[in-house]
């Protein structure tokens, strides 16, 4: 996919093209990370396979700070109970940050759930669960993570389903100093994934296959050869060098806010923010949410 100029100023593109990566070719951006015999790429579509021997996964060759990453996924068709397909960003180490999409399979004809979670400095426990407004196993749909210094936004077909806003001024941690890789995997999680773990994976229906296409990373690349401080300096532009640093990207626009309210009103199944048995004290980031 070509890099589009989001902001024009006096006829010039405001952001620099240097170190932005955007492409639809899997092998330029990603590589299989485990169970290579369960990963198949035909030049257009990539398939990850889960059977009773193994799941599979792939990861980005580079790490990134800020930007937007999108992949189109067609989830396991038919009986997907017990399986989890994940698409996520993560940094390394015990104090890692992580932004997760986890698609929880179900028995034939029953709906998938999408669980999102956010880890900051190694701590997660920020689960939300949603149903979708379409069957994600019938067609490819675009799943994206937008990340800048103001917010992390999870999007499904460009509709925001979750926002984690930077509230550092209120003492709430926000992930903004670790470069992250981009990953996907499929694995067996029948101890918890489907109907609370009551429905187990039926291996007679294996292999379970998730399909991918439309790989796109539009972010600030952090070469491993460059040290952490220099990468952070390059990627944390305060002058709006990158499109995701433009003021309009600091929060959802009105239309997107309405979309998010709709999703949360109609499709929210679980929200850790309102789970008072787990969190008698409301987590700080949940206070004063506008939605």
Q: Which residues are at the interface with ligand NAG (CB under 6 A)?
A: 25, 27-28, 43, 52, 104, 106, 110-111, 113, 194-195, 203
In the three-class reduction of DSSP (H, G, I as helix; E, B as strand; rest coil), residue 125 is classed as coil
Q: Which of 28, 77, 98, 168 is catalytic?
A: 98
Smallest gap from Cβ 79 to ligand NAG, in A, equals 11
Smallest gap from Cβ 244 to ligand NAG, in A, equals 25
Catalytic annotation present for 127? no
Which residues lie closer than 8 Å to 137 by C-beta, 6 or more apart? 74, 75, 76, 77, 78, 80, 112
How would you label 229-241 residue by residue, b for 16+ Cβ within 10 Å and e otherwise? eebbebbbbeeeb
Nearer Cβ to ligand NAG (28/92): 28
Q: Which residue is nearest to ligand NAG (CB)?
A: 110
Strands (E), the chain: 8-9, 12-13, 20-21, 30-34, 39-41, 46-50, 56-60, 63-74, 83-90, 98-104, 113-119, 128-130, 141-147, 151-156, 159-165, 181-188, 208-222, 268-271
Nearer Cβ to ligand NAG (195/256): 195
Nearer Cβ to ligand NAG (112/244): 112
Nearer Cβ to ligand NAG (33/195): 195
Smallest gap from Cβ 129 to ligand NAG, in A, equals 8
Catalytic annotation present for 287? no
**Which residues does the annotation mark as catalytic?**
98, 102
């Amino acid at each position: 996919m070509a890099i589009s100029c989001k902001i024009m100023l006096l006829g010039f593109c405001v952001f620099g093209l240097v170190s932005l990566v955007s492409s639809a070719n899997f092998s330029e951006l990603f590589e299989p990370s485990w169970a290579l015999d369960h990963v198949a790429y035909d030049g257009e579509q990539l398939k990850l396979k889960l059977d009773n021997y193994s799941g599979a996964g792939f990861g980005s060759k580079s790490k990134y700070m800020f930007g937007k990453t999108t992949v189109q996924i067609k989830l396991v068709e038919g009986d997907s109970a017990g399986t989890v397909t994940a698409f996520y960003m993560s940094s390394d180490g015990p104090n890692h940050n992580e932004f997760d999409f986890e698609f929880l399979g179900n028995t034939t004809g029953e709906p998938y759930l999408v669980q999102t979670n956010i880890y900051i400095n190694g701590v997660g426990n920020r689960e939300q669960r949603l149903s979708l407004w379409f069957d994600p196993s019938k067609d490819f749909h675009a799943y994206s993570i937008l990340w800048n210094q103001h917010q992390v936004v999870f999007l499904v077909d460009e509709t925001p389903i979750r926002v984690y806003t930077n509230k550092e001024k209120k003492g709430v941690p926000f992930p903004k100093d670790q470069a992250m890789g981009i990953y996907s995997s499929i694995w067996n999680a029948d101890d918890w994934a489907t109907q609370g773990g009551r429905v187990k994976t039926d291996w007679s229906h294996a292999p379970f296959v998730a399909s991918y296409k439309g790989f796109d990373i539009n972010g600030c690349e952090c070469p491993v050869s460059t040290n952490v401080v220099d990468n952070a300096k390059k990627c944390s532009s305060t002058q709006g060098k990158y499109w995701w640093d433009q003021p309009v990207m600091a929060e959802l626009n009105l239309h997107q806010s309405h979309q998010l309210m709709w999703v949360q009103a109609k499709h929210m199944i679980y929200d850790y923010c309102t789970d008072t048995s787990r969190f008698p004290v409301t987590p700080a980031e949940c206070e004063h949410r506008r939605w």
